Structure 1
Amino acid sequence: MITSVGVGVRGVRPVSVVGATVLLVGTLAGCGAGSPPPEAAPTVAGSSVAAAPGSLRLTESKSLPGGYRAESPATVRTDYPAGPQPAGYGSLVAKYTADSGGTLTVGGAWGTITDPEAVATSAIAAMHSPRDTWTVPMTDVEARDPYDAKGRLTCGVSSDWPLVTSVCLWVNHYTAGSVSFPAWIEGNPATLDQADAADRTRRIRDAMTVPK
């Protein structure tokens, strides 16, 4: 099972994003080697042929939908940081900046995720730790996942002065990740509402997902 990391702007890290970092290790239990594949493999977008378990991954991109450009090369790993190596595991973290002044951090991992619901539930519970202040708790929105009809997308807004961070988390049978959109509390750049953050995350997820 997998999730991602996020980093705040100017060296400030919202605690909600710190929690997401821990999940990169803590929720991979359901993506381990030897786990049985899903009962029915989801269908790849634009194809009538179901994708095999573990056949998709996330890829680094120099730019993302919304006018974001990579600040530096992504950190990509194929060695699992703790415990036995899950089959087909990989992860990446990348930070992007837009001409508008907005930033985002996207992090995620891939493999054969046998229970996306369990991954999402575990991740959300960890992100809703007592240390975090959520002005909008993580709640489900339409995933509209072209790779997996059972994919899940959840978004919320965390406040950790002087930042307000919109966070979205996606999970399907192939990949899981989160996108964090930090903004200064005085409104520069403007904080994204849940619908806008979800829309941007869907486009980022789809742009970064490719066949292995």
Structure 2
Amino acid sequence: MSTSLDNSVLAARNLCVGYGEIPVLHDVSVGVAPGEVVALLGRNGAGKSTLLLALGGILRPSAGVVALGGKECTTAAHRRARDGLAYVIEERGVFTGLSVLQNLRLGQGTVDDALAIFPELEPHLTRSAGLLSGGQQQMLAVARALAAKPKVLLVDELSLGLAPLVVERIFRAIDEARSTGVGVMLVEQHSRTALQVADRAYVLDQGRIVLDGAASDMLPRIDEIEQAYLGVGGQ
């Protein structure tokens, strides 16, 4: 039976996740509210992407609870997508052999809604997605996800390999989406950028939450946080 957890649009409580016999996450509790942007920070191997995979229904936890819309959720990834969870994976999830238009049609939203989010894609509709720049591919992935009007968006390494102006443009689209009530949880390699756009942040270290709080409180302490938990460059 579904159990009400809290008012978060997406939450995990006491989550333990691993790969086979190898544990990765230990007793992790996180949440994102409607209209809130939450950043997941941590060095490589801290468990950030694993957490997103578990929240998205791709990895099954060994213990703990995931809740979507305040109700316990044990369904597979495709069912969570129908229930309002959108997920942009680290590799962007773009089908490079298909055109931009075909990629957009594979989403749960309309092509018109996707182009309203990123009009920059319209001149490239008939172009193969594999010929787009990295920034255009990320715009395509985010546009397809947001066009579905999800309740919550998970984004893994949004800015990886992208120019600052492109990153700023994509974050602006995400900011516009949260104004409509979409909750966003993102893994971001650049900690300062993440804290500037997020409302709250969690810091993971060796599979555990070691720090959490308001992004505005963490930003003045970023040098200390990076040195203690994130490593060089906030990785």
TM-score of the two chains, using structure 1 as the length reference: 0.26
Structure of larger gyration radius: 2
Hey, which of these two has a bigger chunk of helix by percent?
Answer: 2
TM-score of the two chains, using structure 2 as the length reference: 0.24
